[in-house]
Structure 1
Amino acid sequence: MTLPTNEGLSSISPRRSEETTREVAKFTATYVNGVAIGLALVGGLAPLFNAVYFTKELPIAWWQLVLISFICLMVSVAIHLAARRYLERELEK
């Protein structure tokens, strides 16, 4: 029995393959889309459902609640479009 040696190993890590780069880009875009979905649900829809079904008196005016929900939904869409653009750019390489 012989012990393994470091022969053939280099100190510099090999470059990622094209398929690995594509998968990393897909995972990144999926994570960012998950953040966008979370923002849409928690910031955009949950306050509206809470106001309609559970609260007798709102701590803020209706128009403020709708404005906050609208802004959260628009930011969510912007994050989704940014992730989509990132993925398209990475997959073109």
Structure 2
Amino acid sequence: MNLSERQREKIKLTASYRNGIAVGVMLIGGITAGLRLINQATPDWGSALAITVIAIVISLALHYFARAALNGLP
């Protein structure tokens, strides 16, 4: 498979964008969970842990899709 430089850059840009979203999901999930713990009189550790785990799983899935985009490169 012979890709032009433009096609290669589009694939890299797509992967970078998807990975950026993955990082954002991870950060937002962690910050949200942390703020929930700080702002409650009796912290709900189970809820905070669930939010963090969900954010990590979604982030890993998005990172996987970013890597899948790079598989299109020779």
TM-score, with length taken from structure 2: 0.81
- Deviation (angstroms), 1:62: 1.7
Aligned ranges for residues 28-39 of structure 1 at < 5 Å?
A: 28-39=14-25
Structure 1 residue 47 corresponds to structure 2 residue 29: no
Q: 1:67 aligned to 2:66?
A: no
Q: Equivalent residue for 2:73?
A: 91
Distance across 2 between alignment mates of 1:23 and 1:84: 14
Superposition RMSD in Å: 1.9
Larger Rg: 1
CA distance, structure 1, for counterparts of residue 54 and residue 7 of structure 2:
34
Q: Deviation string for 1:36-74 (max 9, x for gaps)?
A: 00000002x10233245x32425x732122112101111
CA shift for structure 1 position 25: 0.5
% identical equivalent positions = 32
Structure 1 residue 78 displacement after superposition = 1.1
Unpaired runs of at least 5, structure 2: none
> Does 2:11 match 1:25?
yes
> Which stretches of structure 1, 4 residues or more, deviate above 4 A after TM superposition?
none
